[in-house]
Amino acid sequence: MANRLNDLLAKRAELEKQILEIQREERASAIAQVKALMAQHGLTVADLGTRSSTPAPKTRSTGKVPAKYRDAATGQTWSGRGLQPNWLKQALAGGAQLSDFLI
């Protein structure tokens, strides 16, 4: 049993070495092809540019969101995003409607 396992582990190690060697060879070949094409067409690294063909995703604005709800008694506000604040939860539990607090 141990001999079979050792044999398999040795084979795996040999295969991994072969895989790494082939990857190195293919990478070197690809680099050589790219260099040849660049030389053929008179291109430099600067000609390649840094922009990708797909546009960068738009980032979300982190600006402050205006208040949508206000407690007339205390002046506290809520934008309507995220968890409801305690003052609003308590008012709604007391029978008020959300529309009562709209600004």
Per domain, the residue ranges of the chain are 2-48, 69-101
Please name every residue paired with 70 in a beta bridge, in sequence order, or none if there are none. Answer: 77
Give the helix ranges, DSSP H, for the chain: 2-41, 45-48, 86-93
User: How far apart are alpha carbons 91 and 98 in whole angstroms?
Assistant: 9
Q: What is the pLDDT of residue 53?
A: 62
Residue of higher predicted confidence among 62 and 5: 5
Q: What is the pLDDT of residues 12-59, one digit of tens each?
A: 999 999 999 999 999 999 999 999 999 999 999 888 886 666 677 777
| Domain 69-101, CATH | 4.10.430
**Residue pLDDT, tens place only, 73-95:** 888 999 988 899 999 999 999 98
Q: What is the pTM of this model?
A: 0.42
